[in-house]
Amino acid sequence: KNQVEQSPQSLIILEGKNCTLQCNYTVSPFSNLRWYKQDTGRGPVSLTIMTFSENTKSNGRYTATLDADTKQSSLHITASQLSDSASYICVVSDRGSTLGRLYFGRGTQLTVWP
Amino acid sequence: GAGVSQSPSNKVTEKGKDVELRCDPISGHTALYWYRQSLGQGLEFLIYFQGNSAPDKSGLPSDRFSAERTGGSVSTLTIQRTQQEDSAVYLCASGGGQETQYFGPGTRLLVL
């Protein structure tokens, strides 16, 4: 069964601190993995997308890693800001064709306190 | 440029009524997805359209749910005989394949 599991379910950190969110998946065949940020009341917005051959990708203070062998990914947030408070969703695509199906994790709810 | 738009923004309906939710994807995007997000829950895949191919309907929770996409552009999600458990935010996204998905703002549905 194709699944995407994220941990922790929720996380509270102080402004300026770093944090790492985890994603494990069983989706096969694997095409790509995406991290989305969803602010409360808004639609998700893409942060990074990685294919099988990519191990790491950065977008500003966000750095995603991918280990396709162990089917694990992480999202590292550096020097957190209050605006980083959101739900972070891991999404895996099962094939590279135009008929790709996306599998969503339940998200990690991050709260950054001042 | 214009993003994905959805209408209505909010919809309150009575149990048993039918509702139609509309999605206008980004022009030129061949893929269109519908998702449902209940309060405090993750995104639940409903249906996926890609060009002229038969849609992937595997996520539709019951036969009360249906969707169509006319002319490869605008899509309508229809929920017949609504139930209280249908209350959720319904999100539409366009893009697809290796491309980034772009999400609309969602339609918040409340079934009384």
Q: Is it the case that residue A111 has pLDDT exceeding 50? A: yes
Q: Per the CB < 8 Å rule, is A98 touching B104? A: no
Q: Residue A99's pLDDT is what?
A: 44
Q: Is it the case that residue B72 has pLDDT exceeding 80? A: no
- Which residues of chain A lie closer than 8 angstroms to B4, CB-CB? 43
Residues of B with CB under 8 A from a CB of A: 4, 30-31, 33, 35, 41-45, 48, 50-51, 53, 56, 58, 91, 93, 96-98, 100-106
Give tens-digit pLDDT for A41-98.
788 888 998 888 899 999 999 999 999 999 999 999 999 999 999 999 999 887 654 4
Average pLDDT of span B24-39: 89
Please state, rounded to an integer, the average pLDDT across all residues of chain B. Answer: 89
Task: Choose among A34, A42, A105: nearest Cβ to B105.
Answer: A42
Task: Choose among A42, A100, A106: nearest Cβ to B41.
Answer: A106
Instruction: Nearest chain B residue to A100 by CA: give it.
Output: B97
Give the gyration radius of chain A's Cα atoms: 14
**At CA A60, angle to CA A104 and CA A70, rounded to 5?**
45
Q: Residue B101's pLDDT is what?
A: 79
- Which residues of chain A lie closer than 8 angstroms to B105, CB-CB? 42-43
Stronger pLDDT, A1 or B78, i.e. the higher one = B78
Return the amino acid letter for B86.
D
Q: Is it the case that residue B14 has pLDDT exceeding 60? A: yes
Q: What is the distance in angstroms between the Cα of A88 and the nearest Cα belonging to chain B?
A: 10
pLDDT band (50, 70, 90) for residue B96: low
The residue among B110, B100, B87 whose CA lies nearest residue B33 is B100
Strand order in the sheet with A72-77: A4-7, A19-25, A72-77, A62-67, A56-59
The single residue listed with the structure tokens 């269109």 is: B32
Average pLDDT of span A24-47: 88
**Token pair of B85, please?**
């458990």
Test mutation, B34, B35, B94, B98, chain A, max A CBs within 10 A: B98
Chain B neighbours among A 27-66 (CB < 8 Å)?
31-32, 34, 42-46, 49, 51
pLDDT band (50, 70, 90) for residue B51: confident
